[in-house]
């Protein structure tokens, strides 16, 4: 065996646990702007964790993202260097430890500190391990001693800073909402954005009936409550098992916030219609549209994203979406792709997601105010691409999960200037009375987390003239 060199064995990766998984999710969310929900679901599917550890990993990842602003404010107050100069890995470790100390009272303080220090040992590079562990240990112990005496900014002299730090939102967003809503309602909205939402599911009428789905879910979850606005929506308390049940695998229902279903009610597709779902995503809205078509008509789905298209193909098989023509393409090119006109079109446009912070708390740290203008341009371009396909008398619904004027009223105002043959249309008479109450004097439907207990959504129904 002389002359052969035995290679050094690679050190095995530390075993995954709830805290390590949460840290890895937080790292990818920050460094790659990943969606926390998709990433966490994917990681949990691969990790062999107990149900208790799965719940802890979920709590840690979402909890840190929800409360990152407050955690950073308090940690900066006990750190002996500018917070922005602390290594990003250490910032994430400290947030993870601080969240356990300040929000998870069932975890003893010593365990929160010790487990975070142990995680630091694995997360940091060898040359700085010892100093990093000592730093994390010192800061977390200092925070434990002093956090109750750290003052928040004075609302009378710094209203933006006070709300931003206390309720964990970026200052630019707080300033915008203060100017539009005033201090009392802004604070109520900020609080609502930090609530943990219930899981909402929509009955897939292509596969099942609301009564049988509700009976099935009643045996899985703590409680099942019908939605206030959309028939077939069910709100589940402790509903995680519902997404692992065979009925879910068989396509009886799918997860969706009740507000996200409202644009389809506004669209009001009729049997026999050809409907364009211009930004189809994972297929939930397509299933709702098909349910209203009652086996007659067809849906054309567009989405340029390969991952969304894979999810749509999976949903098509699971949910029974037979009358669908999926096309991987950009809706901005829709009028060039198709020669046949459509009766209805839904443009549920990509947006900032600032109405969905309860479910996607990472969006408030990823989205910058300067980026709203670029999103508004994209949204208008999507409308320009789709509008020529509408038949005379056809209906176009534009919607976003945003509360910001740039992505809602301003886009629609510009579109109506560019396409004068379109006008805001009356809500369909089939709308439930509770939904009709959400429509304002401009014909726009709006939901707010603090007013309605739903994600923040905007939708408006536009009709093309008969000539």
* Residues involved in catalysis: 401
Q: How far apart are the first and last CA of the chain?
A: 88
- 10 Å CB burial of residue 148 (0-12, 13-18, 19+) is exposed
- What token pair was written down for 221? 């979850």
Concatenating the DSSP letter of every residue in 275-336 gives EEETT-TTSHHHHHHHHHHTTSSEEEEE---HHHHHHHHHHHHHHT--SEEEE-S-GGGHHH
Closest CA to 263 of 302, 229, 296, 218: 229
C-alpha separations of 265 from 38, 215, 431 in Å: 27, 25, 7
The DSSP 8-state label assigned to residue 439 in this structure reads B
Closest CA to 346 of 292, 423, 411, 269: 269
Cβ atoms 324, 301 nearer than 8 A:
yes
CA distance 141 to 137: 6
CA distance 291 to 293: 6
- What token pair was written down for 307? 């991952």
CA distance 74 to 191: 18
Cβ atoms 59, 82 nearer than 8 A:
no
């Amino acid at each position: 065996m002389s002359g052969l060199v035995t290679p050094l064995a690679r050190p095995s990766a530390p075993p995954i646990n709830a805290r390590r998984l949460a840290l890895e999710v937080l790292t990818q969310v920050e460094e790659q702007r990943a969606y926390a929900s998709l990433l966490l679901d994917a990681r949990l599917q691969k990790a062999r964790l107990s149900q208790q550890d799965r719940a802890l990993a979920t709590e840690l990842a979402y909890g840190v993202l929800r409360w990152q602003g407050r955690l950073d404010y308090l940690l900066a107050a006990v750190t002996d260097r500018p917070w922005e100069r602390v290594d990003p890995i250490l910032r994430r470790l400290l947030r993870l430890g601080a969240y356990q100390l300040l929000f998870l009272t069932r975890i003893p303080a010593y365990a929160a500190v010790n487990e975070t220090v142990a995680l630091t040992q694995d997360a940091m590079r060898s040359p700085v391990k010892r100093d990093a562990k000592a730093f994390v240990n010192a800061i977390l112990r200092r925070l434990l001693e002093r956090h109750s005496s750290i003052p928040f900014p004075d609302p009378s002299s710094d209203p933006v800073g006070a709300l931003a730090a206390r309720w964990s939102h970026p200052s630019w967003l707080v300033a915008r909402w203060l100017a539009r809503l005033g201090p009392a309602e802004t604070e109520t909205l900020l609080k609502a954005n930090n609530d943990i939402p219930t899981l909402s599911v929509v009955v897939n009428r292509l596969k099942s009936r609301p009564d049988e789905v509700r009976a099935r879910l009643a045996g899985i979850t703590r409680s099942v409550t019908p939605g206030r606005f959309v028939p077939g929506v069910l709100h589940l308390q402790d509903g995680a098992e519902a997404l692992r049940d065979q009925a879910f695998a068989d396509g009886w229902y799918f997860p969706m916030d009740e507000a996200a279903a409202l644009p389809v009610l506004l669209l009001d597709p009729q049997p026999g219609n050809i409907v364009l779902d211009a930004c189809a995503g994972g297929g939930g809205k397509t299933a709702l549209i098909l349910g209203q078509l009652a086996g007659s008509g067809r849906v054309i789905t567009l989405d340029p994203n390969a991952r969304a298209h894979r999810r749509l193909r999976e949903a098509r098989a699971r949910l029974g979406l037979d009358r669908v023509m999926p096309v991987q393409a950009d809706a901005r090119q829709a009028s060039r792709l198709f020669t046949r006109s459509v009766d209805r079109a839904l443009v549920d446009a990509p947006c900032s997601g600032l109405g969905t912070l309860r479910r996607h708390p990472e969006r408030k740290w990823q989205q910058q105010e300067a980026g709203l203008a670029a999103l508004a341009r994209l949204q208008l371009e999507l409308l320009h691409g789709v509008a020529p396909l509408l038949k005379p008398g056809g209906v176009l619904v534009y919607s976003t999960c945003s509360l910001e004027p740039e992505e809602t009223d301003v886009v629609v105002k510009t579109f109506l200037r560019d396409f004068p043959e379109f006008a805001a249309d009356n809500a369909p008479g089939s709308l439930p009375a509770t939904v009709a109450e959400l429509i304002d004097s401009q014909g726009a439907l709006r939901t707010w987390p603090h007013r309605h207990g739903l994600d923040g959504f905007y939708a408006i129904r536009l009709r093309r003239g008969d000539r």
